[in-house]
Structure 1
Amino acid sequence: MTTFTTAQIPAMTGRTVVVTGANSGIGRTAARALAARGARVVLAVRDPAKGGAAAATMTGDVVVRRLDLADLASVRAFAEGLTEPIDVLINNAGLMMPPLGRTADGFELQFGTNHLGHFALTNLLLPRIRGRVVTVSSTGHRAGTIDFDDLNWERRPYRAFPAYAQSKLANLLFTAELHRRLTEAGSPVRATAAHPGLAATNLLGHLDHDRSLLHRLQTAVTNRLAQSDEDGALPTLYAAVADVPGGSYAGPGGFLEGRGAPKLVGRSKAARDDGAARRLWTVSEELTGVTFPLPAQRAR
């Protein structure tokens, strides 16, 4: 079995890749690797100045477009402004355990950004996607449950990690249902998912103010055990370009999927609940006003 590295990324000349949250971390690293192989890479970022700084570190055809996944108007504007065919969409951007916040449309910030924003973006772009949709989840999905009675944490006391875990579980349910719908529509597009393992990125940067003993311990453990951005991006790249089936989930192959070369990995029982995936899709359509754009293939 060949270990996947960036050397296994095929020539990408003539292909367009969109990467959300590509101004830092594994998103920036994945974008840089794909641009180096000849892809036209669109950095979809909330802050164009930071996106421009990231683009300046890359070689090849790299452009920056503003996208705020916490604002459905911004998602629609981005989709309307991107008219070219898209070969790979990488839904990478995400928030991890911020204080309670709301999106521009009133959704709990993590669910609204990590799931609903990407849900809307994918469906709006889908008529122009011709290759693959990769959505970045987390091992944290294993602690997640979908509370359909309170998706936006309006009735319960807010707890940052359970809210994060719910959003990451939603990413996998979204991937499963998108794969089912693409198959039913007879589409050649594949939906896959990935997680970076324990990657030393700035995802927890908003917690820098937290000087508690627990936080200092978590930071020390992360810094000692985490993969680099380069290694953390490999499962995403593997899910984006390797010959893997639709609906698959890639992650590091090492101890507890924390680090190591990418491979296809398992997911929680909750993430394999087809009924929950369909229900979440329906609710997500209602909340965002965005629907699956491809008709089902008629039986011949």
Structure 2
Amino acid sequence: MKHGFVIVNKSAGLTSHDCVGKLRRIFHQKRIGHSGTLDPNVTGVLPLALGQATKLIELLVDSGKIYEGDICLGYSTTTEDVWGEIVERCPLVLGQIKDEKIDQALKSLTGEIEQIPPMYSAVKVKGKRLYEYARAGEEVERPRRHVVIEDFLRLSKSSYDAEKKCLTFSFRVSCSKGTYVRTLATQVGELLGLPAHLSRLCRLKSGGFSLEESHSIASIEENPEAYFIPLQVYIEKNFKSLDIPFEFQKLACNGAPLPNFAHISDSFPRAVYVEGKLIGLYTLSSEEEKTLRPFKMFDWRQMV
């Protein structure tokens, strides 16, 4: 069994689960999961974890994301993106909305903001996904969430479509987990007093991995080993190591706290090793106790 990561550059039309299924066939193993769902028509970085690396999916999901895409002003849709049915139109004339006004709207959406997830989303309410209610024509109260937008910038001059009487511009956004970029597009429209939707989206960074590090399913299928990142390599790159004495081996292998580490005071979680074997990631319980507690444990016997 493989233990590590493969970074997929997801193409439009594939679900995140489709990518998992394809890698299961390529690597001939079942234990594979993805970090951070991408909508079928969204492209870009989709980290997939294999074997014991699936234990780190939570860390990857918690990391910030970077996206690039296009926002269209002039009409809104049921799904808040270009693939939904049009629900409102407000035909624009050339020059009606200045780029400076768009920039002000984007700037006002930075920092901590509140969002209401779209009806066509996988958020659960009373045991059902919101998209199930939407498909049944039912409207339910949606939970509000707070997300953090670090940067939200316009990348291009706005282009006017005379036939559709709408305005489109490109953007880049750096945001926290849980951010609905589709909803950000509609929020921009609300600030400008216009219906709006997301017309294109590509994820540039997720889980610490960039678009340059990602590869198509076709390329991975052709040479799986070339695009596989072993768990050990990922751990060495992202975490400081701590070799503990052999006397702690039994405690560590049983996932027990490790006492008397007063000399360790920074960079947590730490990758803990016993005689060169990766045991797990540990955190510091408190500055007073100086005890290391297990955060994510690995079975080194499976990785031999």
Normalising by structure 2, we get a TM-score of 0.22
Which protein has the larger Cα radius of gyration, Structure 1 or Structure 2?
A: 2
Normalising by structure 1, we get a TM-score of 0.23
Which structure has more relative contact order (CA 8 Å, sep 6+)? It is: 2
Identify, as 1 or 2, the structure richer in helix: 1
Identify, as 1 or 2, the structure richer in strand: 2
